[in-house]
Chains A and B, each alone.
Chain A
Amino acid sequence: MRTDITKINETTPHDQLTEGLMVFAGGTSKLFNTGEWRTNTPVIHEEKCKHCFLCTPVCPDGCIPVEGGKRLPIDMDHCKGCGICAAVCPFDAIEMKEGNI
């Protein structure tokens, strides 16, 4: 029987952990907010953005969603602030600002 991993926490005794710490679920990295690591933050100047979508495929964390022909706001829970999106933007619509904004 599968262990209910939502019931495991930092006080769980060793004999109640899963074998090899296997996680019985998929896509669990979403639960881990890597955005906390950010030391620089991309800020979008909406008036300059042409929705060309060049930024979306280069984001290593898949944080720039596109829906219905529009680029949506950056997922700041997972953006690590690497600045690749700002570097590829042909319209200077993305500016990297210092700090975790």
Chain B
Amino acid sequence: MAIKDRMSGNEAVAYAIRQVNPDVMPAFPITPSTEIPQMVSTYIANGEMDTEFIPVESEHSSMSATIGAEAAGARSLTATSSAGLALMWEELLLASSNRLPLVLTLVNRTLSGPININCDHSDGMGARDTGWIQIYAENNQEAYDNFIQAYPIAEDKRVHLPVMICQDGFITSHAVENIELLEDEKVKEFVGEYEPEEFLLNPGNPIAVGPYSISNYAMEAKKNQEIAMENSKEVIIEVAEKYRELSGRGFSLFEEYRTEDADYIMLIMGSAAGTAKQAVDDLREQGKKVGVLKLRVFRPFPAKEIAEALKNCKAVAIMDRCESYNGNGGPLGGEVTSALFRFKVMIEAVNYIYGLAGRDFTVSDVCGIFEELEDMIVNGTEIEQFQYIRLR
């Protein structure tokens, strides 16, 4: 029987961490993710879990200690947001290139500057080329579900890569919503024990992790890492399927909401997908053929699957909660249009930037975007291909 409760996104992830009971958690506080290590250390203090919690002096140290613990053979994790993730940048690349299956719960917050504590995806997007698997949640339920799937994905022999479980700062992390939880023993059985083949604290079987590599080896190592990222796609799908059998919930690479016959689709990631779905429901009542493609897995990037899912629509609105400062759009805008081109899906694709640093994004904004797409297709109106929503 599922346990019904009310929780914020941070509470939900902390609850999942207690259920998984990993071996080591080094962490440093930063808004809005601070509650996660705070709640975990409370569980530990109350004797409800026995994870070794290491209070460190910075995020550079928390990721370093997580890497060290994971290499030693311990199932490890940390949590952070925004500038904390930026300070981890060097280590993020070491975690993935050393093929360590550790987990980071990211609570998405904008990067400075201007300094601001609210939600956008600039922290996660800044780490998009660090070799981490990135899974984004729409709400507290998905943050909980995604965390439970993190280790089974990361520790799979075909993968051995670190996983970032992302939820929107404040909107998801602090808002309390209904949630269905699994029983502790079901979570423990699903995640299983961590049994690495090779690890540092393994007497009689010495290893060296992260050795210097001359040019004759480094390119091959990077290719192998890329292959692991490609392999992770099938593992993510398998784990999602297994989790769906257990819980009755969840999506694979993305969720397709009312897209079957849709002429206009909004491709969006994170909490704003809920807003987009509400707008789709309202517009469907007026007879508009609209839908939402909510991206769950950003890394590996499901280029082929997205192109396939969009091929029958007339226009797609690609929603970026992050500015790339490349003069040509946001990260999703760039990657989705490249996917469409590579797989020869020649539909209209407009890139919108929304919700930067916590700017509101409402149902009427979504309706306005669908209206604009329709105007472009039906009346041939020329519209800007890269624009900001709610900019004064």
Contacts and interface: CB of A to CB of B under 8 A. Distances in A.
A26 B223 CA distance: 26
B208 A19 contact: no
B379 interface: no
A93 to B, nearest CB: 35
A47 interface: no
B160 interface: yes
Contact of A19 (B99, B211, B216): B99
Nearest to A1: B197
Given A14-B223, A14-B224, A23 B208 contact: yes
Given A19-B99, A23-B208, A26-B206, A10 B217 contact: yes
28 contacts: A2-B198, A13-B220, A14-B220, A14-B221, A15-B224, A17-B221, A19-B99, A20-B97, A20-B99, A20-B100, A20-B160, A20-B221, A20-B225, A21-B213, A21-B217, A21-B221, A22-B99, A22-B207, A22-B208, A22-B209, A23-B208, A24-B198, A24-B205, A24-B207, A25-B208, A26-B206, A26-B207, A28-B208
Interface string A19-47: 11111111110000000000000000000
Contacts, number: 55
A2 B210 CA distance: 17
Contacts of B99: 19-20, 22
Interface of B: 97-100, 160, 198, 205-211, 213, 216-217, 220-221, 223-225
Q: Which secondary structure dominates chain B's binding surface?
A: loop
B210 A20 contact: yes
Interface residues on A, range: 10 to 19
Nearest to B214: A10
A23 B210 CA distance: 9
Contacts of B221: 14, 17, 20-21
Q: Which secondary structure dominates chain A's binding surface?
A: loop
Nearest to A12: B220
Interface centre among A2, A10, A20 (most CB of B within 10 A): A20
A19 B210 CA distance: 10
Given A14-B223, A15-B224, A26-B206, A21 B211 contact: yes
B195 to A, nearest CB: 16
A20 B208 contact: no
Contacts of B206: 24-27
B208 A26 contact: yes
Nearest to A28: B208
Given A10-B216, A26-B206, A26-B208, A20 B223 contact: no
A24 B198 CA distance: 9
The 9 A-B residue pairs with the shortest CB-CB distance, nearest first, are A26-B206, A14-B220, A23-B208, A20-B99, A10-B216, A20-B98, A19-B99, A21-B221, A14-B223
Nearest to B204: A26
A15 to B, nearest CB: 7
Nearest to B211: A23
B375 to A, nearest CB: 50
Contacts of B213: 21
B207 A19 contact: no
A11 B210 CA distance: 20
A20 B209 contact: yes
A84 B52 CA distance: 41
Nearest to B225: A20
B217 to A, nearest CB: 6
A15 B227 CA distance: 10
Contacts of B217: 10, 17, 21
Contacts of B223: 14
Given A20-B98, A22-B98, 15 more contacts: A2-B198, A14-B224, A17-B221, A19-B224, A20-B99, A20-B100, A20-B209, A21-B217, A22-B198, A22-B207, A22-B208, A22-B211, A23-B208, A25-B207, A26-B207
